[in-house]
Structure 1
Amino acid sequence: MKLAARTALAMLLAFAPASSAGAQTPGQGDDKVVSVAGDDPEMAAAIEQARAGLDDFLALADAPPSGTADFQLKVMVRDGDATEHFWVIPFHRTAAGFAGTLDNEPQTVHNVVAGQEIEFSRDDISDWGYMKNGRRVGSFTVCVLFKKMSKDDADYYRQNYGFGC
């Protein structure tokens, strides 16, 4: 299942900034779109928190400890004035930055498609996450999105996808 964020520019639980935003949670199945203001202070803080821990996350992803799996990045994609954030699973480092497979269906941008291999830089990364002993670690933007969706939907994602927030 996925959680996407969208903006007037857009955010998918995948996620996008600007006047409004939506979001998608990582996983398989149907996508859930949630609206979030592009200038939302909680979303901005979540992105900063993710970026502050990015080096530690990348070190873990390079040498995953026992009990960890499903390492993924959330990446910003721009198309003209539109912006959307997507989960990229799997991802790998390249000489110029990173590359990986877009895991979400675009809602706002039209220059990428789900399943496409994309290249991106560190500056495009807005979140990260992985599973550790059955619980999701990271996914800071998703935790903000839970506050914007119905309690039933948020509880469903928590119960079925290991989110602790």
Structure 2
Amino acid sequence: MRNPVVAIVFAAALGYGFVNTLWHMPSNKPVAIPEATPGASQAAPRPIKENVVAYYTGDKAMQNAKTKGHATLPRFHELMAAGTPGTYTVKFPLTQNGATEHILLQLVGYSEGHFVGLLADVPVNGNQYKMGDRMSVAEADVEDWMIRNGGDVYGGYTVRQAFADMSKEQAAKYRITFKD
């Protein structure tokens, strides 16, 4: 039976502290999803490592965050057109070895309905892709977006949900202010 959990990857472009370190050498196998913590719901988010959290695919709050992220792409385009300072990223599903993770692409451009950028983290489900690979992602496939300028983050609806799932103390240490 397939494990109904999907990995959500947060990358250095966010500055969240969820950053893969150089010791991480991806294998050609999907990352193992750990068992739920004793006493926790089987659908509870599960930390994989410092920069990766697995969410149950049916997690309604995370699904709603992805829906909002996609629905607010017009706002992202407005902010880009206005020249809002910061690092621009989009989150999209990346599948390899039969497993899907949701990962950030740091943007270098946009053309004909596609975001173009560099993969902003080390994928955990294989070694077909690596951090820094140039990729193009169709706008239809984008689940979330962010513009980060210091501690201010526009968008980032899936990250907001991840913060809501953390303890207040853990979330507070990142000193991020979300803006719309």
The TM-score by the shorter chain falls in which range?
Answer: 0.7 to 0.9
* 8 Å Cα contact 2:13/2:87 also seen in 1: no
Report SS of the residue matched to 2:7: coil
Distance 1:73 1:102 in 2: 10
Q: Rg larger in 1 or in 2?
A: 2
CA RMSD of aligned residues (A): 2.6
2:56 is equivalent to residue 37 of structure 1? yes
Report SS of the residue matched to 1:64: coil
Paired residue for 1:26? 14
Distance 1:56 1:30 in 2: 25
* 8 Å Cα contact 1:10/1:108 also seen in 2: no
TM-score of the two chains, using structure 1 as the length reference: 0.73
* 8 Å Cα contact 2:18/2:52 also seen in 1: no
Regions of 4+ moved over 6 Å: none
**Which of residues 112, 118, 123 is equivalent to 1:106?**
123
Point out the structure with the larger helix share: 1
Paired residue for 1:139? 156
Q: What CA deviation, in whole Å up to 9, does each residue of 1:119-150 have, x standing for no partner?
A: 11112211111146852111000011112234
Q: What CA deviation, in whole Å up to 9, does each residue of 1:26-78 have, x standing for no partner?
A: 1286522223211110111111111111022123213314xx32222112211
Residues 35 and 28 of structure 1, relative CA distance in 2, 3 Å threshold = closer
* 8 Å Cα contact 2:6/2:54 also seen in 1: no
Distance 1:71 1:79 in 2: 24
Where does 1:6-25 land on structure 2 (aligned, <5 Å)? Answer: 8-13=5-10
The one-letter amino acid paired with 1:27 is G
Residues 112 and 104 of structure 1, relative CA distance in 2, 3 Å threshold = same
Residues 143 and 53 of structure 1, relative CA distance in 2, 3 Å threshold = same
Distance 2:148 2:65 in 1: 18
Paired residue for 2:90? 73
Paired residue for 1:129? 146
* 8 Å Cα contact 1:9/1:81 also seen in 2: no
Distance 2:18 2:131 in 1: 13
Distance 1:121 1:134 in 2: 28
TM-score of the two chains, using structure 2 as the length reference: 0.68
* 8 Å Cα contact 1:89/1:100 also seen in 2: yes
Q: Which runs of 5+ in 1 are unaligned?
A: 1-6, 15-23
Q: Which runs of 5+ in 2 are unaligned?
A: 20-50
The one-letter amino acid paired with 2:158 is T
Distance 1:86 1:150 in 2: 23
Distance 1:116 1:132 in 2: 23
How many residue pairs get aligned? The number is 145
Distance 1:104 1:25 in 2: 8
